[in-house]
Chain A
Amino acid sequence: GAVVSQHPSWVICKSGTSVKIECRSLDFQATTMFWYRQFPKQSLMLMATSNEGSKATYEQGVEKDKFLINHASLTLSTLTVTSAHPEDSSFYICSANLQGFSYEQYFGPGTRLTVT
């Protein structure tokens, strides 16, 4: 149980275009999902907390107008990287926890974004 999927697993886009990444909880409902970014040989950095039916909460230094998050249902959150630049190239990972049960998080397999 507690499986999280992400789509796509990798994407290459041109500078200036937008890219949407989907995060789905497959066998449970997730009122809260989290989006992380991970650069090579670095740890995970939390970008934002996505709440179903309300606005996302962004961490300090993360541009909310650049990284649009939509949590439209209890099983789907999306991250859209708008006007992507090469410095946005990174590994993006989402996670969710079983609300009300415990605090461990279940992670998706990640999306490798390369902006050329």
Chain B
Amino acid sequence: SQKIEQNSEALNIQEGKTATLTCNYTNYSPAYLQWYRQDPGRGPVFLLLIRENEKEKRKERLKVTFDTTLKQSLFHITASQPADSATYLCALNTGTASKLTFGTGTRLQVTL
């Protein structure tokens, strides 16, 4: 079965810096890779989706890369703000295209 690992359980960075989160997967490459944000006690919120034939996707201060050779996605938040503090989840579409398998998540803390 697909195994998804995110680089660290927690990441602390200073406001204004770029946060970089890593998502590594085993086995086959998914058709789609997605990133979600989850705040404590809330459901995840969709951020970005990248297709297997796309190298990079951007949305405002967010950037996602997808390297199917390395089986890795990087998620960047530039000019980070304390409001960006949350858990970020990587998810892959597996099997039936619409089903998602989630990674373990990385808890990002942005400090002043």
**Chain A contacts to B: CB under 8 angstroms:** 4, 6, 32, 34, 42-46, 49, 91, 93, 95, 97, 99, 102-110, 112
Contacts and interface: CB of A to CB of B under 8 A. Distances in A.
Contacts of A103: 32, 34, 49, 93, 97-98
Contacts of B103: 43
Contacts of B32: 103
Contacts, number: 55
A6 B42 CA distance: 11
B102 A44 contact: yes
A83 to B, nearest CB: 26
Contact of B43 (A42, A46, A104, A109): A109
A91 B34 CA distance: 22
Contacts of B42: 109-110
Given A103-B34, A112-B41, A43 B46 contact: no
Interface residues of B, number: 22
25 contacts: A43-B89, A43-B102, A43-B104, A45-B102, A46-B99, A49-B99, A91-B41, A93-B44, A95-B43, A95-B44, A99-B98, A103-B97, A104-B34, A104-B49, A105-B44, A105-B46, A105-B100, A107-B36, A107-B44, A107-B45, A108-B43, A109-B42, A109-B43, A110-B43, A112-B41
Contacts of A97: 98
B44 to A, nearest CB: 5
A55 B45 CA distance: 27
B43 A34 contact: no
